[in-house]
Homo-oligomer: A and B are copies of this chain.
């Protein structure tokens, strides 16, 4: 019985690994050791841990590691705090493999703790290309990881180019798409309208009429420009005055800049057409993407799940630069006029065809099967 420790540190993390958690939990030869920490345990970021528990997963450990401030310095320090706590957790759990997700800053804490402690490290969603500090983190984690689970062939090839042994690189598809496929297949009718109405703050939304879906996060490598960046988007919304569902940003450095921009906008403008949310249950968000007239911002979800769903999307700025994308994306700069124009183009186009660029919905099961059987050696060595 192999023990598989999975660290979930944010709402984005959870969407990215949920299908793997389920597949590990269901696998006869695997035991799931779920560690929840960072912003995933914070009320202020939507208490993702409660959603996780509601979904039937019980965390075996919690890690408080977010130092308040949301500056570049506290982002590094929070990673340091994670690195102080995680070795204790891993020492106690003695996992056979640690699974870390993607490219958020706390991923580095999990990766270093695991690699330094000679515990084989598995990494999902490596090998992709984007902007922001995530780009550096993602490839650095690849160089620490022993097992690679990229989301598509392009990413898999890039990991091999990075000098990783091909036998440890598995193109499994993206686990986020698993959740999408599953949700749209089985739960098409179970859309939680009530939840949409009960939660959130601001104007009321009629989900059966066209609406915009906005999610814009800070770009850490452009730290200090967040308020200006969100303002471009907010002005575009104000110009359109279509009904809009808008998310607060994640906890990356610069989060407070985006939030301040949003708060000021709320104070200065009448905005009955926008409703603000801290968080959504994973499935609800997928349904929202499926129903949204246009998705706007810089979330990877628009690129990744968006391709599969076919949601028309306007990607603003550099955060997703370089990431493999389907036809559903129009890229624009932080410029309200261009954002308005792109939204209008997408409104005219309407829904796109589903594109399996990021997998077919079976990633979780493939990963679990590999975790159950792969043999890894702690000592890595570059292939060239």
Most buried by B among A83, A86, A380: A83
Interface residues of A in 35-88 (CB under 8 A from B): 39, 41-44, 61-69, 71-77, 79-88
Q: Are A253 and B72 in contact (CB under 8 A)?
A: no
The answer to whether the Cβ of A184 comes within 8 Å of any Cβ in the partner chain is no
The answer to whether the Cβ of A140 comes within 8 Å of any Cβ in the partner chain is yes
Contacts of A141 in B (CB 8 A): 140
Give the CA-CA distance A142 to B318 in the complex, in Å: 22
- Interface on A for B, CB 8 Å cutoff? 39, 41-44, 61-69, 71-77, 79-88, 90-92, 105, 108-109, 112-113, 115-118, 129, 131-133, 135-137, 139-144, 158, 161-163, 201, 220-223, 253, 256, 260, 267, 318, 321-322, 378-382, 384
Copies in the complex: 4
Contacts of A163 in B (CB 8 A): 139, 158, 161-162
Residue on B with the closest CB to A45?
B68
Q: Are B381 and A223 in contact (CB under 8 A)?
A: no
Write the nearest CB–CB distance from A184 to chain B, whole angstroms.
31
Residue on B with the closest CB to A44?
B68
Contacts of A72 in B (CB 8 A): 87, 116-118
Residue on B with the closest CB to A379?
B221
- Pick from B43, B71, B83, B381: contact of A260, CB below 8 A: B43
Q: Are B64 and A74 in contact (CB under 8 A)?
A: yes
Give the CA-CA distance A76 to B79 in the complex, in Å: 12
Contacts of A322 in B (CB 8 A): 381-382
Give the CA-CA distance A383 to B259 in the complex, in Å: 33
